[in-house]
Structure 1
Amino acid sequence: MPRSHDTEGDVIEAMLTSDARAIAVAFESRRRPRRRRPAVAPAPVVPPSAAGPGAREEAAHELDLACVLVINAVEAADSLERFVDDRGIDPEGALVFACLLHVAGHTRAAGFWWQFAAGGGSRTAAYCLHLSHRRDGEFRDAAFWRAQAAHDPQEPPPPVSRTDSRRKLLSDAARHELLIQWHSGLTPHLPAALESVVNRLAVDGDDEDFGEVPQPAPGLVERLSREA
């Protein structure tokens, strides 16, 4: 398993389920992403006991938690800013952006950026796709992405941060509220002011699979920080 880069990374590993603990460590991959969608390989048949409504609800609940922990991580702000500045070639930032979209209610569009990040080698993004497909009852696709998430390539060294500010993407109050909502069995959602920032992002057309896909924009991290 890739090493955690900080104590909050350890929290991510500790709070997710046993499957997620095995693979869902945010910001673990440094390879350049590919926009090409990977071909879906044959996946094992899912037993009926693992494909019921309870499994879908559990996947939705776990996906919510994974997203909250990703955007709460101390690397989130810097990763998202790199993603914006490098014009969309940073898988870590794409993962953060996808999770931000999910928590802002754009969960369909989040799938586009999870797939983008997974194409760049992010196992956490692949696991989010596993949970997303499982939530939607698409169990063969879910099995494919779980296999991708379990793949353990040699981990390159982490990138050097451009700053040492350790800025947080969201305020402490917003971060804690998301966790409280999740622990209360609610669907975590951003405060209205932060959600408005996300909703004002330009969208790229109407993707056949993902609908209107919000695009990262310069100043996004600063606007989120200002509204927090």
Structure 2
Amino acid sequence: MARTQHGPATDIQTALEAAEALTETYRDYDTEAALRRVSALAERDSERTGTTRVPSRYPTVHEQAQHDLDLAVSLIVDAPQARPSLTRLLDSDPIEPEGALVFAALLHLAGYREPAQFWFEFAAGAGSRTAAFCLFLLHQQRSEHRTAAYWRAQLNDCSPVPPRPARTATPHAPLLPEGVRHDLISRCWQGRRPCLPPRLEAVIHGLPVEPLDEDFGEIPRPDHTLTRLPVQAVT
């Protein structure tokens, strides 16, 4: 099977746009660190496979949007703030957009496309610019250009999330094991669809669901199973 050409310049540009959006969601998100990580993983893959990628765009708009969305959700779950954000989704009232965004990203990676859209819309409605960015890409991927344009406009219209009291920066345990997060970004870099290991995917597919929704079908509901995901190696 021929591999779609996609190269470092394009992926870094996409990562930059996604990372800049993440700064609006995670206030202490380190954009430069995220980009360094993407670059380091790309270089490591190039050395391992001995391949040189040509900086080029995907041939169609919807293929490009699919890749960009996969990269964006991989960056979301790779962020150090992903686990505490997901915890606050379960423990806070009202529900906050950061955790809803992380949950939507996990659902997307587990193949729950329609439920992921529901939670992206929930997060965007609560003021997450990152979720609006993901919805723009999601509808662009489906060639639903009018809806994509709407969510693109929402990037500037989303209400800012109220600031939290300043706190001392502390290291957070990652949401997913290092190898899993590496593999997600590596697959994006190679032009492949990122996916979770079967054991982690089974956890997400075992979550409780809300009654059937007319537009989105069964909607998985987050619970504390997600905050107990292993941070060590998993297959």
Range of TM-score over shorter length: 0.7 to 0.9
- Counterparts of 1:24-103 in structure 2, within 5 Å, are 24-25=22-23, 27-28=25-26, 54-86=60-92, 89-103=95-109
Equivalent residue, structure 2, for 1:40: none
The CA distance in 2 between the partners of 1:75 and 1:92, in whole Å, is: 9
Asked if structure 1 preserves the Cα contact closer than 8 Å seen for 2:110 and 2:201, the reply is yes
TM-score by length of 2: 0.73
CA deviation after TM superposition for structure 1 residue 158, in Å: 4.0
Q: Which amino acid aligns with 2:60?
A: G
Asked if structure 2 preserves the Cα contact closer than 8 Å seen for 1:56 and 1:134, the reply is yes
Q: Which amino acid aligns with 2:190?
A: S
The CA distance in 2 between the partners of 1:77 and 1:175, in whole Å, is: 13
Q: Which amino acid aligns with 1:136?
A: R
**1:15-39 CA-partner distances (Å, limit 9, x unpaired):** 526765664535258xxxxxxxxxx
Q: Percent identity among equivalent residues? A: 42
Structure 1 position 175 matched with structure 2 position 181? yes
CA deviation after TM superposition for structure 1 residue 103, in Å: 0.7
Equivalent residue, structure 2, for 1:107: 113
The CA distance in 2 between the partners of 1:21 and 1:201, in whole Å, is: 29
Equivalent residue, structure 1, for 2:196: 190
TM-score by length of 1: 0.75
Within the candidate set 153, 156, 160, 1:147 is matched to 153
Asked if structure 2 preserves the Cα contact closer than 8 Å seen for 1:28 and 1:123, the reply is no
CA deviation after TM superposition for structure 1 residue 218, in Å: 2.1
What is the aligned length? Answer: 194
Unpaired segments of 5 or more residues in structure 2? 1-10, 28-58
The CA distance in 2 between the partners of 1:171 and 1:219, in whole Å, is: 15
Tell me the SS of whatever aligns to 2:193.
coil
**221 and 88 in structure 1: CA distance in 2 versus 1, 3 angstrom threshold:** farther
Tell me the SS of whatever aligns to 1:204.
strand
Unpaired segments of 5 or more residues in structure 1? 1-12, 30-52
Query: How well do the aligned residues superpose, as a CA RMSD in angstroms?
Result: 2.8
Asked if structure 1 preserves the Cα contact closer than 8 Å seen for 2:173 and 2:231, the reply is no
Tell me the SS of whatever aligns to 1:170.
coil
**114 and 155 in structure 1: CA distance in 2 versus 1, 3 angstrom threshold:** closer
CA deviation after TM superposition for structure 1 residue 150, in Å: 2.5
> Which range is displaced more, 144-153 or 194-203?
144-153
The CA distance in 2 between the partners of 1:136 and 1:159, in whole Å, is: 40
Runs of 4+ residues deviating >6 angstroms: none
- Counterparts of 1:195-210 in structure 2, within 5 Å, are 195-210=201-216
Asked if structure 1 preserves the Cα contact closer than 8 Å seen for 2:178 and 2:233, the reply is no
Within the candidate set 139, 142, 164, 1:133 is matched to 139
Q: Which amino acid aligns with 1:63?
A: L
CA deviation after TM superposition for structure 1 residue 227, in Å: 7.4
Asked if structure 2 preserves the Cα contact closer than 8 Å seen for 1:171 and 1:225, the reply is yes
